[in-house]
A and B are shown apart, each in its own frame.
Chain A
Amino acid sequence: MDNAAKIFPASLDSLEPIRDYVSKRCEVLGFNKKKTYGLCLAIDEIATNIINYGYPKAGIGLGIIEVHMADDARQLTVTLIDTAVAFDPLAHLVPNQDDMNKPLEDRPIGGLGILLARQNVDEFRYERRGDQNCNVFVVNVSS
């Protein structure tokens, strides 16, 4: 088991550094480009929600996002921890098949990010621990 963690300011300028931090770990683990990209995309989407909605709704000017990574021979687990308002991405509706078939101009804008977060990792979990939101992304090493 290998563990690492880093704290980032909850600002949009942190999105690329967060993706870089995670993708470096993926590189060490020998993940291919598709798997690395999918994980980074999933994390980017949830981090964006935390920055754009979570902390502003909590009335917190500049919060933080902790990025924790743990890996073993089977999987890499990345956990984003924030102290913004409680937000369970799994409790929110994502676009359904009807929405998917709509012309672009009629597409609902909401929910696309959460859809991408859920679809681009092997497992996505949400936990509320005290005043913390924990968004957990799991990618299997061998998938």
Chain B
Amino acid sequence: MGFNITSEITEGVAKLTLAGSLDSSSASMMQAEIQKVAAQSPTALVLYVSQLEFMSSAGLRMLIFAKQKLGTTVQIYIVQPQGQIVDTLQMTGIIHSVHIVDNYPA
């Protein structure tokens, strides 16, 4: 399955598209993309994850890293996560710190 990530910044919003498996072997790829977009001081971070099949705590750590790197005022939107990934966000309480949405912009 592997892992793929692409990033772009549109009108100040950082958009990352994730697919495959985000685990400890692939989290460094996400960290690199976060660092790349952080350099442009985005106002929001949007993660398109409908094709993300698996996410371990390594992915959760990337969300924490993103918040710390981008600043506490930058909101994180997670677009169309699969059910099991929502369960993981719920179980760890991280769901309260992100916005789960069907589309971005709404």
A interface residues with partner B (beta carbon < 8 Å)? 12-13, 15-16, 19, 33-34, 37-38, 40-41, 44-45, 48, 51-52, 95, 99-101, 103-105, 107, 109, 112-113, 115-116, 119-120
Contact = CB atoms under 8 A, between A and B. Distances in A.
Contact of B25 (A12, A41, A100): A12
A143 to B, nearest CB: 15
A112 B63 contact: no
A40 B91 CA distance: 16
A48 B92 contact: no
A33 B82 CA distance: 11
A104 B83 contact: no
B24 interface: yes
Contacts of A109: 61, 64
A95 B92 contact: yes
B23 A16 contact: yes
Q: Is the interface of B mostly helix, strand, loop or mixed?
A: helix
Interface string B30-43: 00000000000000
Q: Is the interface of A mostly helix, strand, loop or mixed?
A: helix
A103 B93 CA distance: 10
Given A12-B23, A104-B97, A107-B97, 9 more contacts: A40-B54, A44-B24, A44-B54, A48-B24, A48-B57, A95-B93, A99-B93, A104-B64, A112-B61
Nearest to A94: B92
B56 A113 contact: yes
B106 interface: no
Contact of A107 (B25, B56, B64, B84): B64
Contacts of A103: 67, 72, 97
A104 B74 CA distance: 11
Contacts of A19: 21, 54
Contact of B72 (A99, A105, A120): A105
